[in-house]
Amino acid sequence: MEPDKCCESGCIPCERDSDGQEPLDLCNYIGGEFVCPMGDEWMNVLEPATGHRFARVPLSGEADVGDAVRAARMAQPAWGALSHSERADWLDRIADALEARYEEIATLESRDTGKPISLARDVDAQRSVSNFRFFAGMLREHEQEVFEMSSATNYVVNKPVGVGALITPWNLPLYLLSWKVAPAIGMGNTVVCKPSELTPMTADLLMRVIDEVDLPAGVVNLVHGDGVGAGAPLVAHSDVDLVSFTGGTATGEKVAASAAPVFKKLSLELGGKNASIVFADCDMDATVAGVVRAGFLNQGQVCLCGSRILVEESIYDGFRDRFVDAVEAMRVGDPSDEATDLGALISRQHLEKVQGYVELAKEEGGSLLSGGVPCMPAEFEHGNWMAPTVIEGLSPNSRCSTEEIFGPVVTLHPFSSEEEAVAIANNTRYGLAGSVWTGNLEKGKRVSEAIDTGMVWVNTWLHRDLRVPFGGVKDSGVGREGGKWSLGFFSEAMNVCVKHD
Ligand code: NDP
């Protein structure tokens, strides 16, 4: 069924927006059908840049989740019985159909999240397509592992786990959802997705694509809704075998508590408070550009963002001045404008949280070098705007220097030795990522390996190879996804040992 037929059927009261446009009411996608939620609770989807409503999303409940899990369970045996290369062909069909909607993905993602259109094209749309293509390629290349003994041969069978719950946040909606869906179904699982209700538009688009390519019914299901009403019952459902969760650390704790007692397979990709470490021997121009990008991409709302910038004492003043100049040269503005560098923050509530940290920074003794509220044209007066903010003078132990802010706010800290830089970098409960900027690659590697995180870049940031392990340590998560780690997580490795005659 086409999504809009749901409205035509009269089961959803279609209101008219103030501009006379009919709001788009999203539907769940269960068992190959776009279906109305059982209840009648809805939430407005607002554009972060303007505050205008542009869709409504159902707040589904336990019964909707139950239907979706049932559909996934019914579809799993036939889907799991296909070969890797047959499933790879399906992933490629989805990639082709997504690629045909490249511009639609970018536009929807930019409107839904407030991010600049250039970023939505280059990162969100591009990666959503390449996630499906990449895992299709990996499946085709996947070779069975064999371990010979003098008296027997062992081989490894990667069986599907069963039904997966895939839960994703609002900052990179389709990018992260496709990062989970592709390897999960590629390995023969069937899935129920629960995207953030703040940014449901491209998850809906993915379901339309999946419907269009005629993926067997029930292989991919989607339930819209919030964490409490839909996310929690999905994780807790007794017929869900694995949970792949990306989101905040506090939510991750709840997800782990719900999944652990029944030993569900669990992957948690959580928050970060990453350091960019700048040594005096760095290439100054490239480093300023790289560290600005690491601090403020997507308005600082990327789990990998380098929000603590540690600078070697001898170049601190010079680096700071050039850094602040570069930050102030960034254009905050209309997300649909090609020239915009920073768009709006995701919601009013999140903006207030981030602004609260700026106030806290002042109380903690920090000095604001740049920031404030940007002057925006009237059409954006109800948007969630904040200028990129740079703070210095904070203790590395302060709350603003150790807690995840997840917005366009960075703190600057001088250091006097390699050991001190590493100690400051490790002085947080998080351990997701980091970057080191130096002309001495041996030092770059030495410092990288001393940092307690899942990944570190040297003289670059967010330079992604989809084959490498992705994930964090400490409170940044459990497990790794990416490349063969995703294929491993989304399957059960079984050993068969055959005694030689
Ligand atoms: P949240 O943890 O608030 O939400 C993530 C998802 O979980 C949402 O779909 C949410 O629904 C859902 N959820 C909330 N409560 C529950 C529950 N009890 N059970 C199951 N699901 C639930 O994160 P945000 O959406 O605010 O995203 C920002 C966070 O994500 C940051 O901390 C960021 O660092 C992290 N992140 C980590 C990444 C990584 O790879 N390590 C990548 C990207 C982001 P709802 O929207 O209703 O709350």
Distance CA 310, CA 314 (A): 12
Query: Does 482 sit in the ligand 1 pocket, CB within 6 Å?
Result: no
Residue 247, ligand 1, Cβ within 6 A:
yes
Distance CA 234, CA 242 (A): 10
With a 6 A CB cut-off, is 199 part of the ligand 1 pocket? Answer: no
State the amino acid at position 128 in one-letter form.
Answer: S
Q: Is residue 284's pLDDT more than 50?
A: yes
Catalytic positions, written as ranges:
269, 303
Rounded Cα–Cα distance for residues 426 and 452 (Å):
6
Start-end of CATH 3.40.309.10 domains in the chain = 275-466
In which order are the strands placed within the sheet that holds 146-148? 146-148, 152-160, 491-499
70-103 tens-digit pLDDT: 999 999 999 999 999 999 999 999 999 999 999 9
Structure tokens at 473: 């340590």
Position in ligand 1 atom list of the atom nearest CA 432: 41
Tell me, using a 6 A CB cutoff, whether residue 300 lines ligand 1: no
Looking at the predicted structure, is the pLDDT value of residue 10 above 70? no
262-271: pLDDT as tens digits: 999 999 999 9
Q: Report the mean per-residue pLDDT for the chain.
A: 95
> What confidence tens digit (pLDDT) does each residue in 135-176 have?
999 999 999 999 999 999 999 999 999 999 999 999 999 999
Ligand 1 pocket check: which of 179, 196, 258 to mutate, most ligand atoms within 8 Å of Cβ? 196
State both tokens at 293: 């990008």
Return the residue whose CA atom lies nearest to atom 23 of ligand 1. 247
Please give the pLDDT value at position 15.
Answer: 41
pLDDT for the residue numbered 21: 61
DSSP 3-state assignment of 266?
strand
CA of 207 to the centre of ligand 1 (A): 21
Contact by Cβ (8 Å): 473, 314: no
d(CA 59, CA 367): 42
Residues 6+ apart with CB under 8 A from 446: 418
116 lines ligand 1 (CB under 6 A): no
For 99, phi and psi rounded to 5 degrees?
Answer: -60, -35
Closest Cα to atom 40 of ligand 1: 269
Quick one: pLDDT at residue 9?
34
Using pLDDT thresholds of 50, 70 and 90, give the confidence band for residue 19: low
pLDDT (average), residues 379-388 = 97
CA 170 to centroid of ligand 1, rounded, Å: 7
Q: What is the pLDDT of residues 425-479, one digit of tens each?
A: 999 999 999 999 999 999 999 999 999 999 999 999 999 999 999 999 999 999 9
Q: Is the CB of 232 under 6 A from ligand 1?
A: yes
**Nearest CA residue ID for atom 9, ligand 1:** 196
Rounded Cα–Cα distance for residues 310 and 278 (Å): 6
Tell me: pLDDT of 368 over 70.
yes
The pLDDT of residue 278 is 99
Is residue 481 within 6 Å of ligand 1 at its C-beta? no
Residues in Cβ contact with 69 at an 8 Å cutoff, skipping those fewer than 6 apart: 163, 192, 221, 234, 237, 239, 240
Distance 195 CA to ligand 1 centre (A): 9
CATH 3.90.1300.10 correct for 275-466: no
Closest CA to 216 of 26, 81, 67: 81
Residue nearest ligand 1's atom 15 by CA: 227
pLDDT of 301: 98
Residue 14 confidence (pLDDT): 36
Q: Is the CB of 231 under 6 A from ligand 1?
A: yes
Determine the Cα–Cα distance for residues 85 and 208; give it in Å rounded to an integer: 23
C-alpha of 425 from chain center: 23
- Which pair of structure tokens corresponds to residue 175? 């990018």
- Dist CA 190 CA 47 (whole Å): 32
Task: For ligand 1, pick from 251, 264, 453 the residue to mutate: most ligand atoms within 8 Å of CB.
Answer: 251
Please determine, looking at this structure, whether the domain spanning 63-270+477-494 carries the CATH number 3.40.605.10: yes
pLDDT band at 22 (very low <50, low <70, confident <90, very high): low
Q: For residue range 418-436, list pLDDT tens digits in order.
A: 999 999 999 999 999 999 9
pLDDT of residue 380: 97
The residues of the chain that CATH labels 3.40.605.10 are 63-270+477-494
Q: Which atom of ligand 1 is nearest to the CA of 195?
A: 9
Judged against a pLDDT cut of 70, whether residue 400 lies above it is answered with yes
Percent with pLDDT over 90 in the chain: 95
User: Atom 20 (ligand 1): residue with closest C-alpha?
Assistant: 231
State the pLDDT at residue 242.
98
